A and B are shown apart, each in its own frame.
Chain A
Amino acid sequence: AQSVAQPEDQVNVAEGNPLTVKCTYSVSGNPYLFWYVQYPNRGLQFLLKYITGDNLVKGSYGFEAEFNKSQTSFHLKKPSALVSDSALYFCAVRRAGSYQLTFGKGTKLSVIP
């Protein structure tokens, strides 16, 4: 079985400040980890993924995430938040060898001007 936890339903951050959206996972074997963003009334857009290699992954729109195997975490970060980053963010995990992607419940990010 595999699961994802996003412990915060909502994160508020002031524009220009760094942001972090938290994600922890549980999976047997090697994990493939993903972050997606969803703007209102839209589908999900892929941001970044961790497959193997460097624990720090860089993605679209200045976002990055750090894979921490010992803490089973994959937190999403950005050094300086923009109002346009306000959206719903989903973390997802897939076990190596599986087709199925399991999503967290999502975290609503609000960047305050």
Chain B
Amino acid sequence: DVKVTQSSRYLVKRTGEKVFLECVQDMDHENMFWYRQDPGLGLRLIYFSYDVKMKEKGDIPEGYSVSREKKERFSLILESASTNQTSMYLCASSFLGTQGNEQFFGPGTRLTVL
């Protein structure tokens, strides 16, 4: 089975702190994604990566950055956390390409910014 793991299930940070969310997948997937999930808004794509050191902005990249130094690991960085970044963050991965490959999701990190 594909396994996508995220470094924390719950995280509480203060406004202005730098926050790192880590995601690791074990299926040698080329594509990796970061979403945030908010009630009534569904999932919105923040960033994705289709190769090591490659990244593309999604729908809501403002206030976030990402890093992909190794194929299996994709990090989401909040340079200066704000209260409006309180959300559930979901990482996903899939095989390369733009065909019908489904994405596999991690369990999510619920981030609270105080």
Docked pose: A43 CA to B31 CA in angstroms: 17
Contact across chains for A43 and B42 when beta carbons are under 8 A apart: no
Contact across chains for B45 and A49 when beta carbons are under 8 A apart: no
Chain A residue, CB-CB nearest to B102: A46
**Shortest distance from the beta carbon of A54 to any chain B beta carbon, whole Å:** 14
Docked pose: A52 CA to B35 CA in angstroms: 27
Chain A residues, Cβ within 8 Å of B99: 32, 51, 96
Which of B13-21, B70-78, B79-87, B104-112 lies on the face that meets chain A?
Answer: B104-112
The reply on B56 being an interface residue by CB < 8 A is yes
Chain B residues, Cβ within 8 Å of A99: 31, 48, 50, 56, 98
Contact across chains for A45 and B105 when beta carbons are under 8 A apart: yes
Of the listed residues B43, B48, B99, B110, the one surrounded by the most CB atoms of chain A closer than 10 A to its CB is B43
Q: A43-B90, A44-B90, A90-B42 are in contact. Are A49 and B100 (CB under 8 A)?
A: yes
Q: Is the interface of A mostly helix, strand, loop or mixed?
A: loop
Q: Which of B33-60 contact A (CB under 8 A)?
A: 33, 35, 40-45, 48, 50, 56, 58
The reply on A28 being an interface residue by CB < 8 A is no
Chain B residues, Cβ within 8 Å of A98: 98
Chain A residues, Cβ within 8 Å of B4: 43
Please give the number of chain A residues whose Cβ is less than 8 angstroms from any Cβ of chain B in the complex.
Answer: 26
Contact across chains for B50 and A46 when beta carbons are under 8 A apart: no
The reply on A83 being an interface residue by CB < 8 A is no
Residues of chain B at the chain A interface (Cβ within 8 Å): 4, 9, 31, 33, 35, 40-45, 48, 50, 56, 58, 90, 92, 98-100, 102-108, 110
Residues of chain A at the chain B interface (Cβ within 8 Å): 9, 32, 34, 36, 41-46, 49, 51-52, 90, 94, 96-106
Report the 5 A-B pairs with minimum CB-CB distance, sorted nearest first: A51-B100, A43-B105, A105-B42, A103-B43, A44-B105
- The 16 sampled A-B contact pairs (Cβ below 8 Å) are A32-B99, A36-B105, A41-B108, A43-B90, A43-B105, A43-B108, A46-B102, A90-B43, A97-B98, A98-B98, A99-B48, A99-B56, A100-B45, A102-B45, A103-B35, A105-B42
